[in-house]
Structures are given as structure tokens and as C-alpha cells.
Amino acid sequence: MRSLLRAAGAAGILWAVSTAFAVPAVADEPSGFTIGDPRITESSGLAASRAHPGVYWTHNDSDDGPYVYAVDGRTGRTVARITLRDIGTPRDVEAISIGPDGNVYVGDIGDNLGGTWNHVWIYRFPEPRRLRDATVTATQFSVVYADGPRDAEALMVHPRTGRVYLASKKQDGGGALYEGPQHLSTTGTNTFRKVAPVDLWVTDGAFSPDGTRLVLRSYFGARIYRWQDGRPKDLGSVGVPIQQQGESVTFTRDGRTLMYGSEGRDSGVTPVGLSGAQLPESAKEDDGSADGGQGAGGSANHRGGGASSGAAGTDPNPGFVKGAMVLALATALVVAVRRLLRRRS
């Protein structure tokens, strides 16, 4: 009898634990995938294709060459490798984004020497209409910062204005968001100017497809902002999955989900759903509600083992709270049964 009760108690605890930490999946949320190409060992940037639904552009960090890869988000297979020509030798490619002009922007903006390069580069090429291995002519832009060299890993092109932004890592007291000129120039140096401080060790960032949200991620955390009058308004933290080396993030085409990527061979790309105030305005309109159906306090839904941390001031996920309560009750029940058995013995 005692063994049976102990087994039942253990089973109850296991069930309660699984209930506490399992979060309901969103029906239309995309699945994660694994980048299976052995050539991609340092995926450092991620951008959802505009021309090819379900396809994500990525690239290696350094020592790979002028290559960009298109990966099928359903299978994790590489469906195209694009070779960039008419550019210099890439030094430290860290980010990728797609602009409203249909061009792919690649940021050769990293500086592992702690921010000592006197200039960095941005490459631009048209997103191919057909996905196959190809060599394309790219445009190269020279970039400097108004306040001196910076180490940066995030490049974001606004999907409405086409303006390019860079986010630096923390350096000399903090990181910052930098704004490029209205139009990049190939004939001179493009100066990026600081527009907002960023208290985050930024490894990547992305605008939502409608341009109303900006997300910036670090290795272990992320923050989401409302984009208003060309400046970010902090909406608080957003969940980030546990990854080997979290380096990249992009919005899905509908803006409802963040896709987080990592460096490493066979690295995973993990979805984290958004809700409430974190949702882009276009996604809220699709829901027929100004707050996405959950209000500003709605918490994000997570899949793939991501950590749960919605916008600042939001309530915990209801599923988590319910599971935690069940776990506490199950534990109390087992303790009570054990005390009863001791008294009888």
C-alpha cells in the first residue's frame, strides 16, 4: 500500500510539473526548425523572406566569404546560396534585413577588436525571384558612426521608410541605436547618428513587417519597442529561448511571432509568439481589437522551451499559474500521506 501511494504521489508530481511548465501552443504559430547545412556553423543573422513565404535568409559570422543562404523554414534545408560579387572581402558579417525596396541588406558591421575599425560596410542586393545557387552583383556602402567606432551586430531596415538602423553593443557605459541617412550613398561615407540609448548587449534586432514594433535581443534577453515618430518607445521584455549562443531574431511575415536563431552546427530556430501590446498594430487590426484581444497586459505564448517573460508589468501566463498551483497541491498531498503512514507504523 505504501509503495502504491508513493508511486501515485510521484506520478502526481510529474504530471503537475509537466502542467506547470507546458504552455498552450498557438494554432497558427510557425514551428521551429534546425539549420542542417554543414556550411552554416555560425548563423549570425536572420531575416524572413518577403518574396518566398516560409524562407529565411542567414549568413555565417566570419571566415566564410561573401555568401548568404536561403533556408526553408519547414525543412531546415538550404534552398539557395547567393555569392556576392563586386564587394571587398567581408570582415565580420553580423546582420541581415530586407527593405521595402525588395533588397536584402547585409551588415558587415561587427568589430571583435572592441570597436576600432574606422569604418564598416553594408552590402545590398535584390532578393532573387527564383531560389537557386547564384552569383549576384551587390552594392557596397561605407559606414561610420558620428561618435566614433562601435562594435555592432544588429542592422534593421525600416519596412516603410527604407531607412537603415544599427544597434551597437554596450561600450563605454552603454549601447545605442543609430540612424543612417535617408538614402545610403555609394559615392561617400554614410554617417550614422545616435538616436536612443539601449541598455542591452544587442546581438540582433528586427522591425515588424508593418514597422510599428522593433525588437532587440541579447544572448539571454530581449526588449520590444513601439516605433513612434522615428524613435523607440520601450514596451518591456519579451521571452527568449535558451540557446547555445543566441545571435539572431526576425519577425514572421504576419508579425505575430519572433523567430530566434543561434550560432553552432545544426543550430535551432525557435518561435516565440507575441500578444497584447507587443503585437504590431497590423496584427491587432487583424484580430479586430485594439489590443489583440488580450489588452496591454497579455503575455506572450512560447514554444520550443523559450523562457517566459512578457512585457513589463504583465501578469504571468495563466497556464503557468494553474500548473504551479496543482504542483503545490500535489506536493502537499504526498507530504500528508507520508505523515499518515509514519503515524500508523
Segment 95-104, tens digit of pLDDT: 999 999 999 9
pLDDT of residue 116: 80
Q: What is the pLDDT of residue 55?
A: 97
Q: Which region holds residue 209: left if phi is over 0, alpha if psi is between -120 and 50, else beta?
A: alpha
- Exposed, middle or buried by CB within 10 Å (0-12, 13-18, 19+), for 140? middle
Indicate whether 250 pLDDT > 90: yes
pTM above 0.95, yes or no: no
What is residue 113's predicted lDDT score, i.e. its pLDDT?
A: 75
Give residue 106's pLDDT.
98
Mean pLDDT over the full length of the chain: 80
pLDDT at 286: 75
109 pLDDT above the threshold of 90: yes
For 7, residues 6+ apart whose C-beta sits below 8 A from its C-beta are none
Alpha-carbon gap, residue 91 to 244, rounded angstroms: 23
pLDDT score for 316: 35
pLDDT at 41: 94
Among candidates 238, 300, 252, 312, which has minimal Cα distance to 274?
Answer: 300
Q: pLDDT tens for residues 36-73?
A: 999 999 999 999 999 999 999 999 987 789 999 999 99
